[in-house]
Amino acid sequence: MTKDEVKQVVLGIIADIAPDEDLSTLKPDVRLRDQMQLDSMDFLDIVMELRKRHGIEVPEKDYPQLATLDSCGDYLTPKFNALASKS
């Protein structure tokens, strides 16, 4: 899976969690919480959906790695690819 594909997965999860947000204007290098009305529970929902939908575990110490769309891509791409190679 490419970084762009991973970012699309994250955007899909955000769209489900925050359906009123306009995702078309998101800047990939700016913190998501600075651009959207995401609170800590919304952020936890994103992490939980990654686990539920895709089997991706994100330890709490790594939450800062999911701050921006770009950092989500950097952090999650190896995890998605490791899962894909196991199947």
| Predicted model pTM | 0.93
The structure tokens listed for 63 are 């939450």
Could you give the CA distance from residue 82 to residue 15 in angstroms, rounded to a whole number?
Answer: 25
CA dist., res. 3 & res. 81, Å (int): 10
**Under 8 Å CB-to-CB from 61, ≥6 apart: which residues?**
none
Both tokens of 59, joined, read 């330890």
Question: What is the CATH number for 38?
Answer: 1.10.1200.10
Q: What is the pLDDT of residues 18-71, one digit of tens each?
A: 999 999 999 999 999 999 998 999 999 999 999 999 999 999 999 999 999 999
- When pLDDT is cut at 50, 70 and 90, the band that residue 85 belongs to is confident
* pLDDT (0 to 100) of residue 20: 92
Q: Give alpha helix (H) positions in 1-87.
A: 3-17, 32-35, 40-54, 69-86
State how many domains the chain has. Answer: 1
Domain that holds residue 11: 3-86
Asked if the model's pLDDT at residue 87 lies above 80, the reply is: no
Predicted pLDDT at 84: 86
